[in-house]
Structure 1
Amino acid sequence: MIVSELQIQSLIDKLGAVKATSVFTDFFNSYRTSLSSYDVREVYSREYYENLAALPTINDDSLVFPMNIYSEYSYRYVVKSLEKEAANVIDIGCGHAHFLLNLALRFPESNFVGIDISEESIRAAQEKAKNYNIGNVIFKCCSADEFIDFGLADIIVFNDVTEHLADSELDKIFLCVATWCKDDAVVVIHTPNALALCNGYETSLIRQCYLWYLSCIKGWSGFSKSAKQLYYEQMHINVKSYKSLAAFLSKYGFECRVQYDSPQKVRLLDWLSPNMLVVASRIPK
């Protein structure tokens, strides 16, 4: 079930932005875990992709292709790894593939594969690779569970992908991922944090205490979001906390560590950062 932007705006008009944001988030949380990406497919409109393309970009003159700021943490992690040694890298849900294309240009001795279900995105990525004569990257239009791998991978990347897929869909993908990985491979996942104050998909004692402090001591009334923001948040059907994501990945033989995007002076508040980079490696046998 998709709530239209007009319906959400009507709720905001009646309740005010802060109250409407809280009510809508609670309502969406009541059923989002029963959804699949197919159920919310209509939200992935041309306007959505245009909004993605308009996001602020990383300020880095070395980048040939612009990348939005949400790719920065995973990009820097992969760069650091490839500076040590060449690797086979798979990007699942690569989109227009600026992330992979920049890496392929910078590290010609490594090999890269981008996978996406969007034919339009894959065609655009292939055209850019051809125009820039980038020979160490290939693109496949398929779902991850349909992908025939190109050899064992050293690094597998999910840039803001997992939150768009139900656990049942992620199960199919990670059954495949587990077979693609070398023993020392890593899976790099950038994703929203369910415990973030702006998300509210999960809760914890730290989150509850900090919300009480903000409300009762600081007089904070809560987050307010626009109808458009709340409408597009309906595609985030599976936002997890680090603890929840680590538990999920452990089923497939991975152990995790996390880096939060917005470190705080009080370390415990790092757990409430809006986004996080989770790096998963094989649990030693």
Structure 2
Amino acid sequence: MKRLLILCGFALMSGFLLSSCSKDEDEPVPPTVAFNQQSGFITSDVTAAFGDTLNFGIILQSNGTDNLVKFEIKANGLTLLDSTINTQSFTYNFYTIKGISDQEIWAFTATDIAGNRKEETITITGAFGQINSYTTILVGAQDNVATESFLSFSNNEATKYFQAQAFQNQDKIDIFCFFENTATHQNMMSLGSPGSNINGVFTGASSPDNYTTKNLTRFYKTTITAAQFDAIQNDAVLLDAYNADEARKKASVLAAGEVYAIKIQSGLTGLIKVIAVSGEEAGTLEIAVKIQKQ
């Protein structure tokens, strides 16, 4: 009887060991997702400025048995690539440009023919520049004697000048306000700059026509809404909004709610939101400005 019990015990133990081995062997083995470690490639979470080039090198490897059949790339949940493959290993190199998002979570997923999946992620955090914000600036057109027509963004300040003062500080003048409605020029309430070759609007010896230093500001009308403008906290959207190929030397026929991207002579980029337009040659223009800090 004792011998029988021992044999039964061995039989039970053997069954347990066989069962355990079988369970281990059935554990799914997913593929691997790795990143190219060579110099110049993104290998882990990083920070990046707007416009930076981000190089990715993705290396997929099967579990040695089940072929890889699918490769996906997502950025902040948006599918950018969903590729069907059939191979034991796969390498995919690509680059992208850092956009305006404060954070980008890139997810790379490999799936094999047995349905095993593996995902790895890399987070790109925006390292954006600071901006100066001016919630309301009132400027006057050329015949307004009560409100300044000229504006400077030098030294991280928004400084207004009357025409005579502006002439003495012409190296600082970035923008002026004017109204023009003639047979040949229907610009209405507008913004320009000393370098925009707008002549005959301001008169006298101190007019921009007579400047020896003529800073040029270029303007590009954006599709940014007033609410979107108000929400901007850094320079990423400012840089993204400016279109050098389509920018013009003046912003004319201004209307409340419009947002213009600007680039001033010093190279700083900004946005101007039109708040209110009133009157004609002696009228006023109320704007808000967000511009890169120097």
Scaled by the length of structure 1, the TM-score of the pair is 0.20
Highest RCO, 1 vs 2 (Cα 8 Å, sep ≥ 6) = 1
Q: Which has the higher helix share?
A: 1
Scaled by the length of structure 2, the TM-score of the pair is 0.20
Larger radius of gyration: 2
Q: Which has the higher strand share?
A: 2
